[in-house]
C-alpha cells in the first residue's frame, strides 16, 4: 500500500507531473524574463505563465470550418502525454520514476512524437498558414533529428548503456561527457533548439511569415495544452542534456545533488535564451542545408571517434 | 567585407544592455514623462475667450464647436474624440485664450465623456 | 536637361512650331502638348533625352476639361500638360515606355474616369471593390447637383 | 508539386499596415503574386480640396504617421512658393533639422521592422529602444513624438532654445555610439547576412523602368537624392554624402539606410551649429493667388511630390500627393517572383512599404 | 464562467493579467500603429503587464483598432473580430478610430470603429501616446467581470 502511494506520489508530484508543471512554468518565465533583460526590457512578472495558462483554459474554444475536430482535440493531448511520459525516465537530481535499459531510445522516440503531432495539427486545422507551418515543421524535423540522435548516441556507446540514468550515473567520477564529446554536446544543444522550435530555429512558427504556424487556428484549452506541452518539452530536453552531458546530479541522491542539478539546468536554459537572443532566424532551406551538410557529418565524425577510440 | 569571428556580434551590446540604466519607464506605477510642449488636453481661459470662432474655423478635425445663443451668449465645445491635438486652435486664437496642456486625454468607455464644454459665456459685462 | 534643346526637338517631332514652355515656381518647366501627341513627346523625352523618371501623373477636373500633368524629373522638373474633354476622356497609355506609369495611370483612371488605351490592368487600385458612383475626384456637373 | 495560394493580409503580422497579397506557391517557392492596396484609402486628395490651406497642413501631417513632418514640409513649401512668400532662414533651419531627425527615426524604425521580420527580435528591440533617443529630441522640441505640428505656411511654430542645443548634441553622441554597434551587426553578423544578401534584388535598369526612388533606388546604384539634386529648404548650405550601393538587395538597402542615419546625424549637428538668429515665420495670407506648383522633397523613403493648384480662393483646387512608396510597390511583383516564401516579409520590409501614404 | 467563487476569482485574475492583443489598422495613418508597436519595445515594454501582441485572431483577447474604418476594410474588420474567441474586447486607439477624427467626411471613410464593432474603450489622441494606450487597456481590464 505504501509502495503504491509512493509510486503515485512520484508520478504525480515529484519528480512527476506536478513538479514538471511547476518547472515548465518557471522555466518559461525565466526564459522570457532573461530574454527581456537582454533586450533592454523588464519582462513579465513571475506568475505570467500561470495567468496565461488559466486564461486560455477559460477561453472559448473554436475551430474553423473544415478542421478535423477530433484530431485537433487529440493532438495536443498526445503531445503533452508523450513529453510527460518521456520525463518519467529521466533522472532529476538523481530521482527517477522508472528506469530500464534502453529507456534513452524510448525517451528520444517520445520526444519526437510532439513534432509529428505538431505537423499533423498544421495539416488538419484547415488554414493555409498552418499547412505551410506544418510542412516546415516536418522539414525541420528531418534536419535536426538525425544529428540530435547521433549526438546522443555518442555518450550511450561510450558508457555502453542506453539508459539515461546509467549514462548520467557513469559521469559521477567527475568526468562529464561534455569534456569527452564537446562536439556532441554542441550538436545536441543545436538539435534541442530545433526540437523546441526556439529562435533562431523558430521557423515553423515564424510570426512575421506564417502567423503562428500550425497553431494559428487553435484557441482556448487546446492552445493552452499546446503551450504547456512545449514548455514541458523544454524542461525535459534540458534535463536530458544535463543528465547525458553535464553529469546530472553528480551521483547519488542528496540535496546538494538536486541543487547542483538545478543550477546546471538553469545554465542550459540561460544558454538557450542567449542563443535565441543573438541570432536572426534562419530560413528552412538554410537550416536543412546546415543540418545535412554541417551537423550530420560532424555528428558522424564524433560518433566514429567514440566508436574507434572509446568503444 | 571583413569576416571577423562569425559568432555573436551582438554579445558586447547584450552585456552592455544588461548593466546599462534600464530603458523602461514603469508606467503606470511611475508617472508619465511628458514634454512641457506636449499637446494634450484642451483648456480655455474663460475670461479671455471672446467667442470669435477663429479656432473653430481653422480646426482641421471639426473638433470645436461654438454654440451661440444670442449675441453675447455662447458655449465653446471641444470633442476630444475628434481632436487631432494639432494646436492649430492655439495658433489661430488672437486672445491667447485656448491652450493644449501637457496632460494626455483620458480613455473612456463612453464617447459622451469626450464632449467637453470649454467655456460657457452666460452674461455680458455690459 | 536642356529645356531649349528639348523644346526644339519637340517642335520638330510634333511639327508644332508654336510649342512653348511656361516656367513654374520651384525649378519647374511646363510644356503644353496636344493629347494625341503626348505619346510621341514622351518617346522623345525618354528615347532622346534619357529623361526616364516619371514622378507621377496629376489629373484634375477643372469643371471644363480634364487636365493631365505628366511630371518628369531629371535634376529639375519638367511637366507635360495636356487636356481631355470631360465626356469620354481617353489617352494613350505610357505603360509600354515607362512601366512605372502603370500605377499612376490606374489611379487617374479610377479617380477621374480617364481611359488609358493599351493599359495592361483593369482592376481598381485604391477604391474599394464595391465602389459605386462617379469617380470621386470628378466635379459634380450642373445636373448632378 | 501542388500549387497552393497563400493570402497575406490585410491583417498579417508581417504587415503593420493593411495590404493584401495573394501568393501562389509551389512548395516554398512563389510562382505568382497579386497585390491589392486601398485598405487605407481615406480620400485625402478630396479632403484637401474641401478644407482651407491652413487646415490642410494638419491633414498633410496625417498622410502618414512615420514621415509626418516631410509631408507638411512639401506642402507648406509649395503653398509658400505660390504665395511668393519669403520664409525666414531660422525657420528653414528648424524645418530641415526636423526633416533629418525624422529620417533618423524612420530609418531606425525600419531597421527594427526588418529585424523583426527576419526573426532578429533583439535588433528590433534595440533599434526601437535607440529610436527613442530621437523621439525624445523631437518631443522636447515640438511636443509631439509622432505628429510634430512644426510646420506652418510661412515658417515654423516652434523654436530651439540655445541652451537646449548641447543636450541635443549629447543625445546624438549617444545615438552615434549605438549606430556603430548596428553597423557592426549589419556588416558582420552571419545570420543577418544569410537572410538579407541576394534577397529582393533590383537592377539599376529595373529601378529606372519603375521610376523607383529613395534608398531602394540608391541601393541599386541610382544616385538620386532631391536634397542634393534640387536642394530645398537649406540643404544647399549643408555638406553631406549621398549614400549608394551596387548590390541592389535587401542587405544593400540596410547598409544605405544605416549610413544615411550617420549622414543625417552629421547634418543635424551642422544645422544646430549654424542656426541663424531671426524670426520664425512670416505672416501668410489666407487666400492664395491662382497658380500651379510642383513641390518636391526627399522623404525618408525617397522623392515626395506635392502638386498644388490654386484658383485664388482660400482652399486649393487640387492637391496631388505622390508618395515614394507607390513606385516601389510596382516592383514587388518582379521581386517576389521565384523567391522563397520565407523571404516575403524580408522583401516587403526591404522596400520599406508605406501603405498609408500609398493609399492616401 | 461567471464570477462565482474562487474559480471565478482566479479566472478573473488571469484574464486581467494576460491580455493578448491583436492589432488591426483599418485605415489609419500609422501614427497610432507605431505608438502601439512602441509599447512593446524597451521604453514601455507592456510584456511586464502581461500584454503580448499576437499574430493570430484565435489567440487574442483584445482587438486593438487604429484608424477610421474605410469601405474596403470594413468586411475584414468584422471577420477578424468574429474569429476572436470569447471573451473579447475592442479598443479604439486614436482619434480617428474613435470618431473618424480628422478624416471624417472622406468619401471612403465610414467613421470610427463603433460604426462596425461594439467598442469597449475609446482612447483619444492623435496619435494616442503609448502611456495613454497602456492606461486605456488597464482601464478596460479593471472592468472585466
Ligand atoms: S461670463 Fe462666465 S465665462 Fe464669461 S468671463 Fe464671466 S464667468 Fe467667465
Ligand atoms: S488641437 Fe487641432 S484638432 Fe484639436 S481642437 Fe485644436 S485645432 Fe482642432
Ligand atoms: S478660444 Fe480664442 S479663437 Fe476660440 S473662440 Fe475663444 S477667443 Fe476665439
Ligand atoms: S453615449 Fe452611449 S452609445 Fe455613445 S459612446 Fe457612450 S455609451 Fe456608447
Ligand atoms: S461679453 Fe460680448 S463683447 Fe464682451 S467678451 Fe463676451 S462676447 Fe465679447
Ligand atoms: S509606408 Fe507610408 S504609411 Fe507606412 S509608415 Fe511609411 S509613410 Fe507611413
Ligand atoms: S513615404 Fe511613407 S513614411 Fe514617408 S512620408 Fe510618405 S507616407 Fe510617410
Ligand atoms: S488618430 Fe491620428 S495618428 Fe492615429 S491613426 Fe488616426 S490620424 Fe493617425
Residue A123 has pLDDT above 80, yes or no: no
With respect to residue B24, please indicate whether it lies within any of the assigned structural domains. Answer: no
Digit-coded pLDDT (tens) for A257-269: 778 778 888 888 8
Statement: residue D318 has pLDDT above 80: yes
Mutate to test the interface with B, among A278, A280, A282, A290 (most CBs of B within 10 A): A278
Would the pLDDT of D349 be above 60?
A: yes
* pLDDT, position A55: 83
Domain that holds residue B66: 33-122
In a domain, B42, yes or no: yes
What local confidence, expressed as pLDDT, does residue B1 receive?
38
Tell me, yes or no, whether D360 lies in a domain: no
Which H helix or E strand runs over C66? strand C65-73
Instruction: Give the residue, A94 or E93, on which the prediction is more confident.
Output: E93
- Chains in contact with B, counting 3 or more C-beta pairs less than 8 Å apart as contact: A, D, E
Q: From residue A70, how far is each of A38, A121, A240, B66, B113 by CA, in Å?
A: 41, 11, 32, 63, 48
CATH of the domain at E40: 3.40.50.12280
Range of the domain at D248: 42-354
Instruction: Report yes or no on D3 lying in a domain.
Output: no
Q: Which among B11, B17, B26 has CB closest to A40?
A: B17
Chain E CB contacts of C136 below 8 Å: 107-108
pLDDT bracket for residue B2 (50, 70, 90):
very low
pLDDT at residue number D150: 86
Predicted confidence (pLDDT) per residue in D266-293, tens digit: 888 888 888 888 888 878 888 888 888 8
Mean pLDDT of C101-128: 78
Lowest mean pLDDT, pick from A48-62, C90-104, D29-43 = D29-43
Average pLDDT over every residue of A205-228: 73
In this prediction, residue D104 carries a pLDDT of 92
Contact A216/E at CB under 8 A: yes
Flag whether pLDDT at A311 surpasses 60.
Answer: no
pLDDT at B123 over 60: no
D71 CA distance to ligand 8 centroid (A)? 15
- CATH code of the domain covering residue D201: 1.10.645.10
pLDDT band at A208 (very low <50, low <70, confident <90, very high): low
Whether residue D33 lies inside any domain: the answer is no
pLDDT digits (tens, 9 = 90+) for D35-76: 777 777 888 888 888 888 888 888 888 888 888 899 999 999
pLDDT of residue C142 exceeding 60, the answer is no
**Option in E29, E102, E108 nearest D41 (CB):** E108
CA neighbor of A218 nearest in space, from A114, A86, A73, A50: A73
* Predicted confidence (pLDDT) per residue in A154-181, tens digit: 777 777 777 777 777 777 666 777 667 7
Range with lowest mean pLDDT among A217-231, D120-134, D335-349: D335-349
For residue E136, pLDDT beyond 60 = yes
Q: Which atom number of ligand 3 is nearest to the Cα of residue B51?
A: 5
Give the whole-angstrom CA distance, residue C118 versus residue C95: 8
User: Is B112 close to ligand 4, i.e. is its CB under 6 Å away?
Assistant: yes
Domain extent for E125: 5-142
Whether residue B19 is contained in a domain is answered as: no
Residue of E nearest to A224 (CA): E59
In percent, the amount of chain D with pLDDT more than 90 equals 3
Residue D15, pLDDT > 70, answer no
CB C89 within 8 A of CB C129: no
Give the model confidence (pLDDT) of D134-188 as tens digits. Answer: 988 888 888 888 888 888 888 888 888 888 888 888 888 888 888 888 888 888 8
Q: How far is E129 from chain C (nearest CA, A)?
A: 29
Average pLDDT over residues D203-208: 81
pLDDT in tens, C35-46: 777 788 888 778
With bands split at pLDDT 50, 70 and 90, how would you rate the model's confidence at A274? confident
Burial zone of C40 (CB within 10 Å; 0-12 exposed, 13-18 middle, 19+ buried): middle
- List the domain boundaries for chain C: 3-92
Tally the domains of chain B: 1
Read off the pLDDT band of D13 (50, 70, 90). low
Ligand 7 centre from D6 Cα, in Å?
A: 28
| Interface chains of chain E (3 or more CB pairs under 8 Å) | A, B, C, D
In chain D, how many domains are there? Answer: 1
For residue D9, the chain E residue with the least C-alpha distance is E76
pLDDT tens by residue, E4-37: 688 788 888 888 888 888 888 888 888 888 888 8
Within-domain flag for D30: no
Flag whether pLDDT at D124 surpasses 60: yes
**pLDDT tens figures, E42-79:** 888 888 888 888 888 888 889 888 888 888 788 888 88
User: Is B61–D123 a contact, with Cβ atoms under 8 angstroms apart?
Assistant: no
Task: For residue A46, give the chain E residue with the closest CA.
Answer: E48
Q: Which among A202, A207, A279 is the nearest to D13, CB-wise?
A: A207
In CATH, what number is assigned to the domain containing residue B108? 3.30.70.3270
Q: B122: pLDDT confidence band, cut at 50, 70 and 90? A: low
Which ligand 5 atom is the nearest neighbour of the CA of B126? 1
Average pLDDT in the E92-112 region?
A: 84
**Which atom belonging to ligand 5 lies closest to the Cα atom of B49?**
5
Candidates 3.30.460.80, 3.40.50.970, 2.102.10.10, 3.40.50.300; CATH matching C3-92: 3.30.460.80
What is the band of C103 on the pLDDT scale with cuts at 50, 70, 90?
confident
Is residue B51, in this structure, part of any structural domain at all? Answer: yes
Name C45's Cβ contacts closer than 8 Å, sequence gap at least 6: C6, C51, C72, C78, C80
Residue A276's nearest CA partner among A209, A201, A189, A183 is A201
- Chain D within 8 Å of B21 (Cβ-Cβ)? no
Q: Is D67 in the pocket of ligand 7 (CB under 6 A)?
A: yes
* A202 touching E (Cβ < 8 Å): no
* Phi/psi-derived region of residue D291, left when phi > 0, alpha when psi is between -120 and 50, beta in every other case: left
pTM: 0.85
C-alpha cell at D24: 501562389
Amino acid at each position: 500500500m505504501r509502495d503504491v502511494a509512493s509510486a503515485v506520489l512520484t508520478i504525480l508530484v515529484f519528480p512527476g507531473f506536478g513538479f514538471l508543471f511547476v518547472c515548465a512554468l518557471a522555466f518559461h518565465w525565466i526564459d522570457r524574463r532573461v530574454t527581456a533583460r537582454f533586450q533592454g526590457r523588464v519582462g513579465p512578472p513571475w506568475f505570467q505563465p500561470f495567468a496565461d495558462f488559466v486564461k486560455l483554459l477559460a477561453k472559448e474554444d473554436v475551430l474553423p470550418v473544415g478542421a478535423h475536430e477530433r484530431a485537433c482535440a487529440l493532438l495536443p493531448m498526445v503531445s503533452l502525454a508523450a513529453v510527460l511520459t518521456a520525463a518519467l525516465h529521466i533522472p532529476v537530481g538523481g530521482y527517477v520514476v522508472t528506469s530500464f535499459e534502453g529507456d534513452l531510445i524510448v525517451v528520444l522516440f517520445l520526444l519526437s512524437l510532439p513534432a509529428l503531432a505538431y505537423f499533423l495539427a498544421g495539416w488538419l486545422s484547415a488554414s493555409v498558414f498552418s499547412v505551410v507551418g506544418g510542412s516546415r515543421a516536418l522539414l525541420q524535423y528531418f534536419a535536426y533529428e538525425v544529428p540530435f540522435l547521433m549526438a546522443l548516441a555518442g555518450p550511450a556507446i561510450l558508457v555502453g548503456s542506453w539508459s539515461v540514468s546509467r549514462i548520467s550515473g557513469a559521469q559521477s567520477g567527475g568526468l562529464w561527457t561534455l569534456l569527452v564529446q564537446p562536439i556532441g554536446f554542441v550538436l545536441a544543444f543545436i538539435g534541442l533548439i530545433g526540437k523546441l522550435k526556439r529562435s533562431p530555429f523558430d521557423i515553423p512558427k515564424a510570426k512575421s511569415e506564417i502567423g503562428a504556424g500550425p497553431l494559428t487556428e487553435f484557441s482556448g484549452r487546446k492552445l493552452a495544452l499546446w503551450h504547456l506541452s512545449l514548455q514541458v518539452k523544454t524542461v525535459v530536453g534540458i534535463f536530458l542534456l544535463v543528465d547525458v552531458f553535464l553529469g546530472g546530479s553528480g551521483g547519488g541522491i542528496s540535496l546538494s545533488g538536486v541543487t547542483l542539478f538545478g543550477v546546471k539546468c538553469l545554465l542550459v536554459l540561460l544558454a538557450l535564451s542567449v542563443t535565441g537572443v543573438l541570432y536572426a532566424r534562419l530560413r528552412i532551406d538554410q537550416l536543412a542545408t546546415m543540418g545535412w551538410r554541417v551537423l550530420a557529418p560532424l555528428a558522424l565524425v564524433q560518433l566514429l571517434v567514440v566508436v574507434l577510440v572509446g568503444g | 567585407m571583413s569576416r571577423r569571428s562569425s559568432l555573436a556580434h551582438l554579445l558586447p551590446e547584450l552585456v552592455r544592455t544588461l548593466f546599462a540604466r534600464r530603458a523602461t519607464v514603469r508606467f503606470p506605477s511611475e508617472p508619465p514623462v511628458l514634454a512641457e510642449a506636449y499637446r494634450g488636453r484642451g483648456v480655455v481661459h474663460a475670461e479671455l475667450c471672446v467667442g470669435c470662432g477663429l479656432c473653430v474655423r481653422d480646426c482641421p478635425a471639426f473638433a470645436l464647436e461654438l454654440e451661440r445663443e444670442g449675441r453675447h451668449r455662447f458655449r465653446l465645445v471641444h470633442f476630444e474624440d475628434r481632436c487631432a491635438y494639432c494646436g492649430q486652435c492655439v495658433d489661430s486664437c488672437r486672445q491667447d485664450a485656448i491652450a493644449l496642456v501637457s496632460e494626455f486625454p483620458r480613455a473612456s468607455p463612453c464617447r459622451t465623456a469626450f464632449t467637453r464644454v470649454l467655456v460657457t459665456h452666460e452674461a455680458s459685462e455690459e | 536637361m536642356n529645356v531649349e534643346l528639348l523644346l526644339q526637338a519637340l517642335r520638330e517631332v510634333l511639327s508644332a512650331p508654336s510649342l512653348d514652355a511656361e516656367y513654374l515656381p520651384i525649378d519647374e518647366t511646363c510644356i503644353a502638348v496636344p493629347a494625341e501627341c503626348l505619346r510621341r513627346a514622351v518617346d522623345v523625352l525618354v528615347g532622346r533625352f534619357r529623361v526616364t523618371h516619371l514622378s507621377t501623373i496629376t489629373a484634375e477636373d477643372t469643371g471644363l476639361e480634364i487636365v493631365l500633368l505628366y511630371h518628369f524629373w531629371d535634376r529639375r522638373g519638367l511637366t507635360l500638360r495636356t487636356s481631355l474633354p470631360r465626356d469620354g476622356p481617353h489617352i494613350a497609355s505610357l505603360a509600354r515606355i515607362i512601366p512605372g506609369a502603370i500605377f499612376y495611370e490606374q489611379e487617374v483612371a479610377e479617380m477621374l474616369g480617364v481611359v488609358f488605351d493599351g493599359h495592361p490592368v483593369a482592376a481598381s487600385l485604391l477604391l474599394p471593390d464595391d465602389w459605386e458612383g462617379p469617380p470621386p475626384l470628378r466635379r459634380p456637373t450642373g445636373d448632378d447637383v | 508539386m501542388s500549387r497552393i495560394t497563400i493570402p497575406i493580409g490585410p491583417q498579417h503580422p508581417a504587415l503593420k499596415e493593411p495590404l493584401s497579397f495573394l501568393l501562389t506557391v509551389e512548395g516554398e517557392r512563389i510562382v505568382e503574386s497579386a497585390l491589392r492596396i486601398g485598405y487605407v484609402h481615406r480620400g485625402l486628395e478630396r479632403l484637401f480640396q474641401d478644407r482651407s490651406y491652413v487646415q490642410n497642413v494638419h491633414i498633410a501631417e496625417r498622410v502618414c504617421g512615420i514621415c509626418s513632418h516631410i509631408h507638411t514640409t512639401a506642402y507648406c513649401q509649395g503653398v509658400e512658393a505660390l504665395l511668393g512668400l519669403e520664409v525666414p532662414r531660422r525657420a528653414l533651419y528648424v524645418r530641415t533639422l526636423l526633416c533629418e531627425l525624422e529620417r533618423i527615426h524612420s530609418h531606425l524604425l525600419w531597421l527594427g521592422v526588418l529585424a523583426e521580420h527576419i526573426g532578429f527580435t533583439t535588433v528590433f528591440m534595440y533599434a526601437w529602444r535607440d529610436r527613442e533617443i530621437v523621439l525624445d529630441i523631437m518631443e522636447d522640441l515640438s511636443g509631439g513624438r509622432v505628429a510634430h505640428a512644426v510646420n506652418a505656411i510661412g515658417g515654423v511654430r516652434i523654436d530651439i532654445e540655445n541652451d537646449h542645443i548641447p543636450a541635443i548634441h549629447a543625445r546624438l553622441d549617444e545615438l552615434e555610439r549605438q549606430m556603430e554597434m548596428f553597423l557592426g551587426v549589419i556588416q558582420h553578423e552571419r545570420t543577418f547576412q544569410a537572410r538579407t544578401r541576394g534577397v529582393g534584388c533590383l537592377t539599376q535598369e529595373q529601378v529606372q523602368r519603375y521610376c523607383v526612388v529613395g534608398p531602394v533606388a540608391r541601393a541599386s546604384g541610382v544616385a538620386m537624392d532631391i536634397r542634393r539634386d534640387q536642394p530645398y529648404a537649406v540643404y544647399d548650405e549643408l555638406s553631406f554624402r549621398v549614400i549608394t550601393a551596387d548590390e541592389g538587395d535587401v542587405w544593400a538597402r540596410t547598409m544605405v539606410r544605416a549610413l544615411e542615419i550617420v549622414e543625417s546625424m552629421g547634418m543635424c549637428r551642422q544645422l544646430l551649429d549654424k542656426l541663424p538668429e531671426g524670426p520664425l515665420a512670416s505672416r501668410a495670407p489666407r487666400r492664395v493667388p491662382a497658380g500651379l506648383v510642383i513641390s518636391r522633397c526627399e522623404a525618408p523613403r525617397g522623392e515626395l511630390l506635392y502638386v498644388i493648384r490654386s484658383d485664388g480662393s482660400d482652399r486649393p483646387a487640387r492637391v496631388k500627393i505622390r508618395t515614394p512608396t507607390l513606385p516601389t510597390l510596382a516592383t514587388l511583383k518582379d521581386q517576389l517572383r521565384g523567391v522563397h516564401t520565407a523571404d516575403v516579409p524580408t522583401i516587403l520590409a526591404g522596400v520599406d512599404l508605406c501603405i498609408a501614404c500609398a493609399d492616401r | 464562467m461567471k464570477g462565482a467563487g474562487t474559480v471565478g476569482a482566479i479566472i478573473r485574475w488571469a484574464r486581467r493579467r494576460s491580455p493578448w492583443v491583436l492589432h488591426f489598422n483599418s485605415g489609419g495613418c500609422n501614427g497610432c500603429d507605431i505608438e502601439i508597436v512602441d509599447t512593446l519595445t524597451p521604453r514601455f515594454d507592456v510584456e511586464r503587464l502581461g500584454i503580448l501582441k499576437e499574430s493570430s485572431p484565435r489567440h487574442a483577447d483584445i482587438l486593438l483598432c487604429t484608424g477610421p474604418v474605410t469601405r474596403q476594410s470594413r468586411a475584414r474588420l468584422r471577420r477578424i473580430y468574429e474569429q476572436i474567441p470569447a471573451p473579447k474586447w475592442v479598443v479604439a486607439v486614436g482619434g480617428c478610430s474613435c470618431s473618424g477624427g480628422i478624416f471624417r467626411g472622406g468619401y471612403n471613410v465610414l467613421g470610427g470603429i463603433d460604426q462596425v464593432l461594439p467598442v469597449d474603450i475609446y482612447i483619444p489622441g492623435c496619435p494616442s501616446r503609448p502611456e495613454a494606450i497602456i492606461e486605456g487597456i488597464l482601464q478596460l481590464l479593471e472592468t472585466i467581470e
